[in-house]
Chains A and B, each alone.
Chain A
């Protein structure tokens, strides 16, 4: 057992602990938005721990450095793409009308959408009245 093996095993254990937390969060949280919170964060850090841990473990166990460079690049790709997937899912959930949990205290997004709609309506009304003015002239 070299130091690299021990560090790698510790990292894999750390990652799997956060995987468990992530799946537990899916059961415990009340609505889709809070579930996305727990699932995204814990699953991302858990994957990073497991993937980099395997790379370091390979240095100690089979004395090969080609694992760590590949695992590092997989980790970077995951880190860049996971939050975007979460963002797309949560936005799609909101747009398809999934309600917030009844304990939620504020929804600024709804207000913004409503004000945007009012701006559109005013613009339409302005366009119609401009046309009428043109007709009268």
Chain B
């Protein structure tokens, strides 16, 4: 998928900046809203080129629905990760079995790859070490499968089905 038109990218940047402004001021006073629109237009004009590639196409309802479904899934994975850390830290024998494994991903979009790397870092027992093209090098605290396919199955697969829809 190529880049969207400049107008669509600009409007999308302004929209996101304005939402952040609303959260930061947390008031619906018309004076504040007008100043927010003005500042969003200025900052958007300076930054839209680096901010987004697809523009308003990101606001597709299917993408938003998958994104909303992704949030509780991700928070649940994070809480499981922390219980896993708690078990490893508090257990007297310190049951770790670390190593660096390699995974493949089917995502092609750069933002999608970034979000996948962040999700991997915050989920049970894995942290992203480096990304080269579609190969992820991951430090796994408890290596169960050394092969590329097996590691991808248990690390990247669960997130890909969401991120594929959100970012591709």
Spell out A's residues near B (CB within 8 Å).
Answer: 18, 21-22, 24-25, 28-30, 33-34, 36-38, 40-42, 44-45, 65-66, 69-70, 72-73, 79-80, 82-84, 86-87, 90-91, 94, 100-101, 103-110, 112
Contacts and interface: CB of A to CB of B under 8 A. Distances in A.
29 contacts: A24-B90, A25-B85, A25-B88, A29-B89, A37-B139, A38-B89, A41-B85, A45-B82, A69-B23, A69-B24, A70-B24, A83-B122, A83-B128, A84-B118, A87-B128, A87-B129, A90-B127, A90-B139, A104-B99, A105-B146, A106-B99, A106-B100, A106-B143, A107-B100, A108-B100, A108-B101, A109-B102, A110-B100, A112-B137
A83 B101 CA distance: 18
B133 to A, nearest CB: 11
Name the prevailing secondary structure of the A interface residues: helix
A73 B78 contact: no
B82 to A, nearest CB: 5
B98 interface: yes
Contacts of B127: 33, 36-37, 40, 86-87, 90
Contacts of A103: 96-98
Contacts, number: 127
Contacts of A72: 23
B137 A108 contact: yes
B23 A80 contact: no
B41 interface: no
Given A21-B86, A107-B99, A90 B141 contact: no
Contacts of B146: 105-106
B102 A112 contact: yes
Given A83-B122, A105-B99, 7 more contacts: A18-B86, A36-B127, A73-B20, A94-B130, A104-B99, A106-B99, A109-B100
Interface residues on B, range: 35 or more
A67 B139 CA distance: 38
Nearest to B94: A28
A100 B135 CA distance: 21
B163 interface: no
Interface in B12-31: 20, 22-24, 26-27
Contacts of A79: 122
A79 B137 CA distance: 21
B125 interface: yes
The CB with the most chain A CB atoms within 10 A, among B89, B94, B101, B146, is that of B89
Nearest to B127: A37
Contacts of B139: 33, 36-37, 90
Given A34-B96, A38-B88, A90-B127, A108 B102 contact: yes
Contacts of A70: 23-24, 26
Interface string B100-132: 111000000000000001100110010111101
A80 to B, nearest CB: 7
